[in-house]
Structure 1
Amino acid sequence: MARCARGETRYRRMKSGRDPDGSVVISVVVPVYGCDGCIEELCARVRLALMDIHVPFEILLVDDRSPDQSWAKIVAAHEHFPEVTGIRLSRNFGQHIAISAGLAAAKGEYAVVMDCDLQDPPERIPDLYAKIKEGYDFVLAKRVSRSHSAGRLIGAKAYFFLMGRLQKASFDSSFGTFSILSRKVINAFLRFSERERHYLFILGWLGFNAGTVEYDHNQRFAGKSSYSLSKLIRHAMDGIFFQSTDLLKWIVTTGLTFSLVGLISSVYFVCSYFFYGSSPGWTSLFVAMLTCTGAILISLGVLGLYVGKIFDQVKERPLYEVDLVLEHVEK
């Protein structure tokens, strides 16, 4: 950690990024989970990058109830850097709700959203800011190279392809959460109340004028990803099932197809009985029954999932609860 130690010495000599009147131009929102080894380096590099822009800023670290020492590291960063605000949620709500909590607390005219593992280089924040100042409402960072495994890359491409087919839109797996939003987009984003949310899908639904900045995706600075295979699959299923109702239309189409095949088969077997007598085929009939039964059960299961999510939504519980907030008070 010698790198961090050298960075700290430099930052102590630099003035605060906050404006004396308390105004903030850029808020950096970082959901934190399983990143205790990255927080110190993250704050140091984000602060240095924003100092180069010469605008007042704040860094919002949202602890999504990480099981490691992330909150302790956030407390230390808050004590060391005057721009750091720590927000601790009451329990784990998930990355995208943690982003929403950070955006709700952001005071800036613009908000940068980025991951905590430093795979998104903070040094590209000035490029995002320069791009959005060209007149865009928000700017997404596109990964021209990625450090993920081949299996995860293939899975991401397949997932976004399927989502594109479901929602009849184009989704590029090269985009992540690394982005900058104008205040207009932030306010529009915060009007969404659904629990099953995906940051990029909401931005895509909102529309507005979007820009793009390309960058190289870095290796994780420390630790390992909290997204296990099971979590990735669950996240993908939530996106496929609950970001669109087109899957229900697919189920109806499948049911109609099975019904049509059954009707044609019935006519065929009736005609075959009168012209040729009874014919063997119990194996194919048994397979057809299993196939139809399986399709019915899957369809009922999908419908049940939708009903369950509707039940969760109509209870109108808050998206999240904040446990603690560490914020510097201007005197």
Structure 2
Amino acid sequence: MKMLSVVLPAYNEEKMIVRAAQEIGKVLDDARISYELVFVDDGSKDTTWRKIEETAKENPHITGVHFSRNFGKEAAMFAGLANAKGDCCVVMDCDLQHPPETLVEMYRLWEDGYEVVEGVKRTRGKESALHRASAGLFYRIISKAVGIDMSRASDFKLMDRRAVEAILEMPERNAFFRALSSWIGFRSTSVEFDVQERTEGESKWSTRSLIKYAVTNIVAFSSAPMQVVTFAGIAVFLLGIVLGIQTLIKYFMGHAVEGFTTVILLILLIGSIIMISLGIIGYYISKIYEEVKGRPRYLISRKIDSRIDAQNG
């Protein structure tokens, strides 16, 4: 039987390690699916890694990866995929907001020949009005920027080994997993799921983190902000032409050009656009600098190898 690798990024999830291993394992055992659970501790500050070690001693299906420090969820997902041994891999949240039961449906679709099975959110669960509005704005902006509808997208997806290798071969350091997994193509389909309520711990996503996530990944995957700079320059140029024509008309009509306030406002407007444009360009240059240095996406300080054999389940 071909093996499924379940990649589980974890940051300060000490209360969820044992439960995640038990619930996911029960679902896959009942479905008679050979599997491994790849927990990636993203430099947690609590006892997450100790829980992974303790659980691995009792459960031969577990592989553990521990980062030397916090490198972020994107890095944790790539590390999990790189250390997974399965014929297909699925990335899901350690907090079980992605329902384990959906794994079986994804796996069966993969057996039918699909190489990417996208988990699509049917509902988002209980969220505050501010967080829902922030998330909605984030997905609208990022969908426009990357050219892919990400309004209901998630990191919860299953990929064939060929698709996993295609993503891992990409040399870029600042990778956007959700967009890249769609960009690579391959035969794909989707499965709807309802976001489950977190039972332990707290969500790591705040309005501030969503904004940071959006800016980082838009720049990593799209040149749209650079186009905004171009359009802003064109708009200011057209405004300058209009005001120039107005000034010449008044000059030839013998009227002095009035409006000291207007001049000040124009200077402030143009100066603001220039400074924002320089900031956008500078951010892109900083990301280019990071890519040129070629530092690794993550550093692994400790590792637990799974003892399960893909052939015996």
Relative to the length of structure 2, the TM-score reads: 0.93
Tell whether the 8 Å contact from 2:176 to 2:220 is kept in structure 1 after alignment: no
Give how far 1:250 is off: 2.0
Q: Tell me, what secondary structure is at the counterpart of 1:277?
A: coil
Equivalent residue, structure 1, for 2:154: 176
Summarize deviations over 1:99-123 as a string: whole Å, max 9, x none. 0000001100011110111111112
* Whole-Å separation in 2 of the counterparts to 1:135 and 1:330: 25
Distance 1:234 1:109 in 2: 34
Contact map agreement 2:142 2:150 (CA 8 A) in 1: no
| Structure 1 pair 230–159 and aligned structure 2 pair: CA distance change class (3 A) | closer
Using the alignment, how far apart are the partners of 1:246 and 1:146 within structure 2?
Answer: 28
Identity %: 31
Structure 1 residues without counterparts, runs of 5 or longer: 1-22
For residues 280 and 263 of structure 1, what CA distance do their matches in structure 2 show? 17
5 Å-filtered alignment, 1:1-331, equals: 25-147=3-125, 148-167=127-146, 169-329=147-307
Q: CA RMSD in A?
A: 1.7
Distance 1:163 1:235 in 2: 10
Q: How many angstroms does 1:246 deviate by?
A: 2.4
Q: Deviations over 1:140-174 (max 9, x none)?
A: 1112111233332332232222223223x232322
Structure 2: how far apart are the matches of 1:270 and 1:237? 43
Tell me, in whole angstroms, the C-alpha distance in 2 between the residues paired with 1:190 and 1:198. 12
Query: How many corresponding residue pairs?
Result: 308
SS in 1 for 2:133: helix
* Residues 92 and 157 in structure 2, CA contact (< 8 A), matched pair in contact too: yes
Deviation at 1:280, TM superposition (A): 2.5
Change in 2 beyond 3 A, CA 1:328/1:251? closer
Aligned equivalents of 2:264 and 2:277: distance in 1?
Answer: 20
Q: Deviations over 1:48-78 (max 9, x none)?
A: 1111232321110000001111111111111
8 Å contact from structure 1 (residues 24, 58) kept in 2:
no
Q: Is the 8 A contact 1:103 1:186 kept in 2?
A: yes
| TM-score, scaled to structure 1 | 0.89
Q: Which has the higher contact order (CA 8 A, sep 6+)?
A: 2
Distance in 1 (alpha carbons) for counterparts of 2:302 and 2:3: 24
**Deviations for 1:281-308, whole angstroms, at most 9, x for unmatched residues?**
1112211110110000000011001111
